[in-house]
Structures are given as structure tokens and as C-alpha cells.
Amino acid sequence: MSDPLAAAMKVLDAYIAGLNHGDETAVNAACNFPHVRLAGGKVLVWHKRGDYKLADFHARAGEGWARSQWDERTPIHVGPDKVHLKVAFSRFRADGSLIGRFDTIYIVTRQDGHWGIQARSSFAS
């Protein structure tokens, strides 16, 4: 895809769809590695594809998590191989009640032609 912003948005769509469908392979495919997450005073690094486990996500997603959605995806900087995005997302329980809404910065990169989420800094736990 020649439009970096469109490519980044497509990756974010694939990532959240993977989470919502419980598809660990799809979530890993939507990332570039090493993948870095800064949140809750901790830095987590997943070194290679397949290291990102949905069990880890479920442990921090909130009691009764059933799905997430993007509330905002605003570009901050767009370059030919990297896009910085100000995003917000919400997490919901199966009954539709809100677990929380979280502000985050996502960095989406192109590595060897593959667009993926490389890093994120979140106020989510």
C-alpha cells in the first residue's frame, strides 16, 4: 500500500479485529517486532512474532472483557515508513457496559514491506 496513513489504519483495524475474535495469529500479524508497550509504569517487549499472547492481554483487559473499539485515531506524524497516531479505545463487557476508555500513542512502521504496530504508550493497565 503506497499511502502510509491508509496502511496504518488498516493495521489498526486488523489488530482490534484479531483481539475481538480471539485470533492470536492475527494480532501478531498486525504487529512488527520487536514490539514495545509502555503502560502502568512498565515496559514490555515482545521480541518476535508469536511472543504476543492473548492470555496476557486478557489478564490486563479488565474483568469480563468481551470486546474493544477505536474511539479516536488521529495522525500526529506521517512519513513513508512510519506513522504516529493519537488513539483512544474503549473496552466493553459482554453486556455492553464500559470497562474503560484509554488514551494511547501508537507507532506503526513498515519493515521489509510489512506494516505493523511497533510500539505503543498507553494509559491502560
All 3 cell numbers of residue 47?
Answer: 521480541
Mean pLDDT of the chain: 95
Q: Is the pLDDT of residue 106 over 90?
A: yes
DSSP result, 27-52: HHHTEEEEEEEEETTEEEEE-STT--
Q: What per-residue confidence (pLDDT) applies to 2?
A: 79
Return the CATH number at 65. 3.10.450.50
What is residue 55's three-state secondary structure? Answer: helix
pLDDT digits (tens, 9 = 90+) for 26-69: 999 999 999 999 988 899 999 999 999 999 899 988 889 999 99
pLDDT of residue 80: 97
| pLDDT at residue 124, as a whole number | 74
pLDDT tens-digit readout, 83-100 = 999 999 999 999 999 999
The domain in which residue 57 lies consists of 4-122
Domain count, the chain: 1
Residue 99 near residue 67 (C-beta atoms within 8 A): no
